[in-house]
Copies of this chain bind each other. A is one copy, B any other.
Amino acid sequence: MKLWILLLLILSFILHPLPSSSSSSLFKHRLLRAKASSIKQTEPQISYQTRFFQQNLDHFTFNNNPLTFPQRYLINTDHWNPSSVGPIFFYCGNEGDIVWFAQNSGFLWEIAPLFKAMLVFPEHRYYGESVPFGSKYVAYNNASTLSYLTSEQALADFAVLITHLKRNYSALLSPVVLFGGSYGGMLAAWMRLKYPHIAVGALASSAPILQFEDIIPPQTFYDIVSNDFRRESLTCFNYIKQSWDEIASRGQTNDGLAQLTRTFNFCQQLESAEDLSGWLSSAYSYLAMVNYPYPADFMMPLPGHPIKEVCRRIDGGRPGTSIPERIYEGVNVYYNYTGEAKCFELDDDPHGLSGWDWQACTEMVMPMSSSPDSSMFPPYEYNYSSFEEDCLKEFGVKPRPKWITTEFGGHNIHATLKNFGSNIIFSNGLLDPWSGGSVLQNISESVVALVTEEGAHHIDLRASTENDPNWLIEQRATEIKLIQGWISDHYQKNKVIFDM
């Protein structure tokens, strides 16, 4: 069996590492998710106006015909205090359609009335409808049109938009609170370091700002995913660990591939066993992220504790059931919990996350390995050279693996945050594989870590449910209290009288 390359991430509300068997096929299947057509998204009761703000495509150069693009943002001022000093809750849009994020950030919608806050959900450049060059097709065409898709440009978009809104609403004294999950959480935290004058605080949920260079061990991510399965069932863990060889061996013949195609119910014939392995790895990683304690529909409609259910099905096959058949039963929970999908397709991207490939190949270089001892994934040792080669092949672009830590810091993040940061909540659930790259310790009185044992990927940003466990209710209450503190401080410093 070939070594697998576990390196490409789709980092979104949900960050997704993609195993692939060969460098050549690495980028072909960037989002290996089944198309389960006609699955309904449950939409929370949210209402907003959709607006567009014309942004400079390049904030850091000047030209005689500067390109611009329309940045979409959703805005709700229903609860905003008309005295113009009410807070502005600003969600740092990440790599996908902003409507989807707004729908999955119920926490903000729930607390806005309490704070009399304005809600703003700006879309990240190059995602959703916020694309330059008139269309996504042109914007994603090549390295030259993609070149402005960077986190620094996105942060500058936020700074410019906030400045514009405060001016337009005569809200110069309104405190701005940043929110973000996953990559959006990274942006929210970085915004505190790079634009401290723009906002008063940030809730950075599941923000792996340390997942760069050698700051954390590269096997961290896959170890956590694997542990999430092992804690449910050691046999389940072992079935998965054994499955890769079996799939690879079957995939060596056309007959074997045809059989796998049937076993896993793909609409089209599989081209390689690696495609299947990528599809499975993707499901396991996502499952670890959305391993919520109640039924939810974020990436996919899923039951509560979905890994428990996956393992129940993998373990539960009748004696004599082959490992691939067991695995199929398991991942069916992820890809087809509602049972509506007739068959599966690779390469589907309903939330428009594909721009992350470019970001991962330029500045968001996150080394990831899979340990032969502790991981249930195929062993893989991170190799920067082959990663670079892949990026050159796919985009003609050479990554800058040390750029993020130069620009934002990271190696000595505790000192940096302690001395220069304030009012940041790093919230993490330890079931979330991205938690290993985040900040898990309190740094100072105002830079705090909220860590929950049973939490998954930015669960705190989701709407509350009747099934919320106590630890989640308490976590959100703490967040509200901390945010209230930031805002009160701001009012006190600026001698504003405002009744929250």
Contacts and interface: CB of A to CB of B under 8 A. Distances in A.
Interface string A415-432: 110011110000000000
A146 B62 CA distance: 8
Contact of A163 (B163, B406, B421): B406
Interface string A144-180: 1011101011001001100100000000000000000
Contacts of A193: 196
A49 interface: no
Contacts of A415: 197, 493
A420 B194 CA distance: 10
A143 interface: yes
A134 interface: no
A493 B415 CA distance: 9
Given A402-B163, A420-B422, A60 B58 contact: yes
A411 B197 CA distance: 9
A395 interface: yes
26 contacts: A58-B60, A58-B61, A59-B152, A59-B403, A60-B150, A60-B153, A61-B150, A62-B358, A62-B362, A62-B363, A64-B144, A64-B395, A66-B398, A156-B407, A159-B406, A160-B406, A163-B402, A163-B406, A193-B196, A195-B407, A197-B409, A197-B410, A197-B416, A197-B420, A420-B420, A420-B422
Interface string A42-69: 0000000000000010111111101000
Contact of A194 (B63, B160, B194, B412): B194
Q: For chain A, what secondary structure do more than half of its interface residues adopt (helix, strand, loop), or is it mixed?
A: loop
Nearest to A420: B196
B64 A143 contact: yes
Contact of A147 (B63, B195, B363): B63
Given A156-B407, A196-B419, A197-B412, 7 more contacts: A56-B400, A62-B147, A63-B397, A66-B398, A163-B402, A415-B493, A420-B422
Interface in A382-407: 395-398, 400, 402-403, 406-407
A411 B153 CA distance: 22
8 A-B pairs with the lowest CB-CB distances in the bound complex, closest first: A197-B409, A64-B396, A62-B362, A64-B143, A196-B420, A61-B147, A60-B60, A197-B416
A7 to B, nearest CB: 18
A32 to B, nearest CB: 25
A64 B397 contact: yes
A153 to B, nearest CB: 6
Nearest to A156: B407
Contacts of A409: 195-197
Nearest to A148: B61
Contacts of A198: 406
Contacts of A362: 62
Nearest to A408: B197
A370 to B, nearest CB: 27
Interface in A73-117: none
A195 to B, nearest CB: 8
Contacts of A363: 62
Contacts of A147: 61-63
Nearest to A419: B422
Contact of A63 (B143, B163, B406, B412): B143
A139 B432 CA distance: 49
Contact of A400 (B62, B144, B195, B421): B62
A163 B415 CA distance: 17
B420 A143 contact: no
Looking at A197, A398, A410, the one whose CB has the most chain B CB atoms below 10 A away is: A197
Contacts of A58: 60-61
A449 to B, nearest CB: 19
Contacts of A420: 196-197, 420-422
